[in-house]
Amino acid sequence: MITVLGSINMDLIATTARLPKPGETVAGTGFSTAAGGKGANQALAARRAGASVRMAGAVGSDSFAEGALALLKEAGADLSLTKTVDAPTGTAHIIVGGDGENVIVVVASANATVSESDAMTALETMSAGDTLMLQLEIPAATVEKALAEAKRRGIRSIINIAPLTPEAARLGRMADIVIANETEFELLAGKSGIDAAAREAAMKQLHQETGQTVIVTLGAEGVIAIHDGAVHRAKGLAIEPVDTVGAGDTFCGYLAAGLDAGLAFADALRQAAVAGSLACLKPGAQPAIPLATEVAARL
């Protein structure tokens, strides 16, 4: 069983030929809405990968709430730990350029109400060997409480240290498995502007200090990880990206599902890398998350 404690958003997505520079206005080519939020995205990815998933979080009492939960409901995720509060549903304002790159502004709203008490409620019904997945779009105190309680109960914890908050480096060291992109890892390691060799050395040092599994996603270059003292690498697929918005969350959810299913770490890593690539072939976050059958066909 995987429990995701995290954010639930409605994504408001504008497309344009190129991303604007600071202070610049550019013409848009399209607009759409899609269910999102890093927590909900990762929960849906794990569910589509075949895992049993519970989503713990909050939505508002507004018109965005139903749409934000629609795909999770459709996929059969357990939403009994998702509360409705007197605040707007969280939103992400996304601009996607013609090359698939994006810029995002996240407004927490209801996600800011996910409390330490909510974390305890979620963990009280979990057992040793279950998986807790976290990100940083809910309050840092809630994440910290959940990580500490998971360790006490023998529950495997996975944290994706995104977005890059001031607490990311401290909280990242508390989990059994930490997932970061290149920029986020530099904060975690306390080093900036490092090359590939220095990054690997810093990953090994962090692994030795904390004992945790350290995973760094490298975009088109795939992923590198240090697990049980060994270096693992996995490549995604050679693709022309349409939209990279949900790729990282898809990777996280598929990795959690693979490990929860008992896959060897290297196999879970490869599966997650392929799933992340496939998520770049469609627009939007949750609509682009591939099904397990699609991933299996490309492995």
111 is in an annotated binding site: no
Q: Is 77 annotated as a binding residue?
A: no
As a whole number of angstroms, the distance between CA 262 and CA 153 comes to 20
Find out whether 249 is annotated in a ligand binding site.
yes
Q: Is 279 annotated as a binding residue?
A: yes
Least Cα distance to 3 among 173, 190, 172, 129 occurs for 129
Q: How many residues does the chain have?
A: 299
38 is in an annotated binding site: yes
Please confirm, yes or no, whether 249 is among the known catalytic residues: yes
Is 97 labelled a binding residue?
no
284 is in an annotated binding site: yes
Q: What share of the chain is helix, strand, coil (3-state, %, to 5)?
A: 40, 25, 35
Contact 106/5 with Cβ under 8 angstroms?
no
Residue 11 marked as a ligand binder: yes
**CB neighbours of residue 208 within 10 Å:** 10
Residue of 228, 249, 260, 267 with catalytic role: 249
> Is 172 assigned a ligand-binding role in the annotation?
no
- Count CA atoms closer than 13 A to 83's CA, side-chain side: 17
Residues recognised as catalytic: 249
Annotated binding site for K(+): 243, 245, 279, 282, 284
Annotated binding site for ATP: 181, 217-222, 248-249
